[in-house]
Amino acid sequence: MKKLLRRAAISAAAVAAALALAPAAPATAENPYTPSEADFATCPPKPAGATAWTCFVSTVVDGTIEIGSIRVLVDKPVRLVTAQGKLADGSTVARVGSLTSGELTIQTPLLGTPIYTEDLTGTKVRIESTGSVVAGTVMPKEFGVKFRFLHPLMIGNCYVGTDAAPITVKPRIGLALPEVRQGLLMARVWTTDNAFALPKANGCGLIPGGLVDLIVNDRFKLPNKVGDNKAAWNWIVRHKDL
């Protein structure tokens, strides 16, 4: 990753100049992020016999998840900690240390307009890990998650996706640039993914598949198909050799 950052640093000025000529995007407030050694607290330990082992801390500082016409704002910190490396036999392995997420805000469009407002029901979404991950270069190539819907009237664990059948996120990198915060070199990475489908929600009420599940699935039009959803995330990625 260090070599990638050095190469990116050489062309950063040219990229910045190109971006300056592009139409300006609407300004949005990023989630606050201050790098520290605590970022690496949940790194998976180096396996016995591994010849190399690198921990990646990937923090979403801004972004959205679109579920059909409904938008989920990544307006609270979301952090994925993984590690990857080579074993003695030459094979590559990756493991999840943790995925932490705040309760994310849902927005819905006003009928017949492109204007989005906060969902009146007060429902929130939290992203949780299912434990699956595939090694990548700048950051994991793919990782498994499940969405938990949260509302005071939801009794039980209302999930879309499971550990056994996760939502597989495959972040496609559109741009990666070096960034320095508090004297520490890291990467700023912009990714998108519109190639994941969502299954039905389950566990939202006392009775599996009952009325509350039906209401949630109708509200979010679940299940849906590939192409109905999109995740566009702005990451800060750090790494550390262990």
The pLDDT score that the predictor gives to residue 29 is 77
Cα torsion 70, 73, 76, 79: sign: positive
Average pLDDT over residues 155-164: 92
Residue 4 — pLDDT band, cuts 50, 70, 90?
very low
For residue range 203-234, list pLDDT tens digits in order.
998 766 688 899 999 999 999 999 999 999 99
Residues sharing a CB contact under 8 Å with residue 138, sequence separation 6 or more, in sequence order: 1, 4, 173, 176, 187, 189, 237
Residue 9 — pLDDT band, cuts 50, 70, 90?
very low
CA–CA separation, 161 and 67 (whole Å):
14
Looking at the chain, the whole-number percentage of residues with pLDDT higher than 90 is: 73
The pLDDT score that the predictor gives to residue 88 is 86
Q: Is the pLDDT of residue 45 over 50?
A: yes
Average pLDDT over residues 28-52: 91
CA–CA separation, 57 and 236 (whole Å):
8
For residue range 92-123, list pLDDT tens digits in order.
999 999 999 999 999 999 888 889 999 888 99
pTM value?
A: 0.85
